[in-house]
A and B are shown apart, each in its own frame.
Chain A
Amino acid sequence: MTAPSARPGASRHLPTIVLVARREVRMRLRSRVFVGGTIVMVALVVVGIVAASLLSGKTNPVRVGFSGGSQALERTFSASAAALGVKVTLSDVADVTAGKGQVTAGTLDVLVTGSATAPAAVAKASVAPNVESALSLAAEAARLSDAGLTPVAVRSAMALVPVELLAPTTPRDTQNLFASLALGILLWIALGQYGNLVAQGVVEEKATRIMEILLATIPPSRLLAGKVFGIGLVGLLQLTIVGAAALVAVHVTSVAAIPALGMASILADIVWFVLGFLFYATAYSAVASLVSRQEEVQSAVAPISILQIAGYLLMYAALPNPNGPLATVASLLPPFAPILMAVRMASSTVPLWQPVLAAALIVASIIGLTWLAGRIYANAALRLGTRVRFTDAFRG
């Protein structure tokens, strides 16, 4: 009764959702877009982290050479430099001419000449202000003790004015802001890219008419679910690769102190990606199923694209004041939560109830959207030709 070629094999029967998802994963992983895109994203992230570490955290110590009588200043100079927060390395220079040669050659940053009470500095182009101040302090101390003050008196005379900072910004905060922004952009790109892949995949099946064969075999809900899961897995894989590359780069360049690039933050981002992807993928699949040609996809998905762009703009609006009312409210709304909450969590401290509420809201809306998208998709999937009206597809 069955064809001779349909002998039962001694192997696996997979559920149809898994079959559909596996096909998506295989096809996407094989595509140049995935391979190329992943390489570019990894490269951008690694270059960004390395550049950040070179630009800020790592300032090289200033190399200062002392010649002749000024060598007596070395101890007080290094103490003053430390108090002013400058890293210095000191060396003795025997000959002034040779020292100037070293400055010209760039192996020495500052050459100090003259006596302890009347030192002079030689540099190639400029002297860092803090180095100049430390040197002046050291010379002043030498003059005071020369004038007969005891070391204790000198020290109290030279004491720095204490400064209290009420809202200090450190270079690390700026770095963290940029890192958060970079994460937000990356997340935004990934959500847009994989949402659009779902839309294109849905239309591809309508445009090539394979939909009719597929729907004669599996129910539309399973076809859609398999597609969303498959593409989502590919997106997750790509983000995980990029995230892992970021963690390695952070570790190697030792800018690990940036919280936005910590393990917890990156894991949270992956969770937000999954939620955001499910939200946008279901929305994209519903509107995409209304059209039959690839050229019509962009206009069909426009309302959702606009929502995504709004999220992108809100990210910039929210970032300067991540706990302000605009940022707080917007980050709770399902269309914006995946990006805004991720950015807020990376850039500041957010009360726990907020991400929990945002996650609950988006999960609830994903459930609602899945029902809606399944209905639209099932009704519109086999209507080829002209664009199907949303209300017609909803009614069935």
Chain B
Amino acid sequence: MDDRVLEIDGISKRYGQTVAVQDLSFEIHAGELFGFVGRNGAGKTTTMRVVLGVLAPDAGVVRWLGMPLTFEARRRIGYMPEERGLYPKMRVAEQLAYLGELHGMADGAAREAALGWLERFGLAERRDAELQALSLGNQQRVQLAAALVFGPDVLVLDEPFSGLDPVAVDVMAAVLRERAEAGVPVIFSSHELDLVERLCDRVGIIDHGRLVACGTVDELRAGGRERRWLDVPAAPDAWEPGVPGVRLLAAAGARRLFELDAGVDDQALLQAALATGPVREFERVEPSLGELFRTVIGEVAA
């Protein structure tokens, strides 16, 4: 297994009285797509800026290949900041090539890579246009190309999907997946939880500057509350299963959705249902990432 790991170890950062992130630790492995989710102002952007060295943390360290990140190593990170930014009056291909060279590429290779990525994003014929002449969606693609142009060792992308049309989302997702499969640790933040669930190998949920959950979506589900759909046509409308730790969430005709606290035996619920008569359906429902997210955040807020 590849041992190239980006470690975020105990990062804290405060702005005056405001705590932006507090003792944040997680790892991203080579070949892994890591989704970073949290509410606005939860500390995602601060964390990414610290990783990029754009912001100095008050405490903690970021390691790459087991060593604290040096400036040279940081130059090898592809970064897409939350606030998009490129030179509006500079030609697209020239701009990408310039950024490639700033990241240490030779001029010919930078030019070639710039054209290659523009081709990939369907912008080849706009290569000599000024950036400001492009639509916002296309500017966003150029922004991603700017993060990719020099063949980064690590990718850090802040909200790469915001403002993209569905086709562009697919292209972006495919590129991220491909980079991850090529062995690059990829971390990105997003509010599109369905997308994160579909795309990411692991997810970190951050709230009020603290990491409140981290793992694969399945791991996040384990230990959480489980849900069951039951179709009990003979049960009365006000039927209660009478099992401790089970709550009715929703009813649709004879179908009812129950939530079970962690550790509650679902067979007890089934027994109670069978006691009312026939049971046509007994289905285990996996909560979506969105539901998990709300649960986790809700617990912290409570």
Contacts and interface: CB of A to CB of B under 8 A. Distances in A.
A251 interface: no
B226 interface: no
B36 interface: no
A19 B101 contact: yes
Nearest to A212: B81
Contacts of B84: 209
B77 interface: yes
Interface in B72-98: 74-75, 77, 79, 81, 83-90, 98
Contacts of A382: 54-55
Interface stretch (A59-67, A214-222, A240-248, A304-312): A214-222
B85 A210 contact: yes
Interface in B102-120: 102-113, 116-117
Nearest to B148: A3
B108 to A, nearest CB: 3
A23 B108 contact: no
Given A16-B102, A212-B83, A2 B55 contact: no
Interface string A214-242: 11111100000000000000000000000
Contacts, number: 107
A204 B103 CA distance: 21
B87 A8 contact: no
Given A27-B89, A384-B83, A12 B183 contact: no
A6 interface: yes
B183 A1 contact: yes
A23 B85 contact: no
Interface residues of B, number: 47
B54 A217 contact: no
B46 to A, nearest CB: 12
Contacts of B87: 27, 204, 208, 210
Given A3-B151, A13-B104, A212 B113 contact: no
B260 interface: no
B98 A23 contact: yes
B22 to A, nearest CB: 21
Contacts of A215: 54
A175 B104 CA distance: 55
A6 B98 contact: no
Contact of A19 (B49, B75, B102, B184): B102
Contacts of B75: 216-217
B108 A9 contact: yes
Contact of B179 (A3, A14, A204): A3
Contacts of A23: 90, 98
A216 B54 contact: yes
Contacts of B88: 208
Contacts of B90: 23, 27
Contacts of B150: 6
B182 A213 contact: no
Looking at B74, B101, B146, B153, which has the most chain A CB atoms within 10 Å of its CB? B101
A27 B131 CA distance: 14
A10 interface: yes
A217 B72 CA distance: 9
A219 B101 contact: no
A5 interface: yes
Nearest to B119: A5
B153 A1 contact: yes
Nearest to B76: A2
Given A9-B109, A213-B81, A219 B71 contact: yes
B109 A212 contact: no
A330 interface: no
Given A1-B182, A212-B54, A8 B83 contact: no
Contacts of B110: 9
30 contacts: A3-B148, A3-B179, A4-B116, A5-B112, A5-B113, A6-B151, A7-B109, A7-B112, A8-B106, A9-B105, A9-B112, A11-B107, A19-B98, A20-B102, A23-B98, A27-B89, A208-B85, A208-B88, A209-B81, A210-B87, A212-B81, A212-B83, A212-B85, A213-B146, A214-B102, A216-B74, A216-B79, A217-B103, A382-B54, A382-B55
The 6 A-B residue pairs with the shortest CB-CB distance, nearest first, are A6-B151, A209-B85, A9-B109, A9-B108, A2-B151, A3-B151
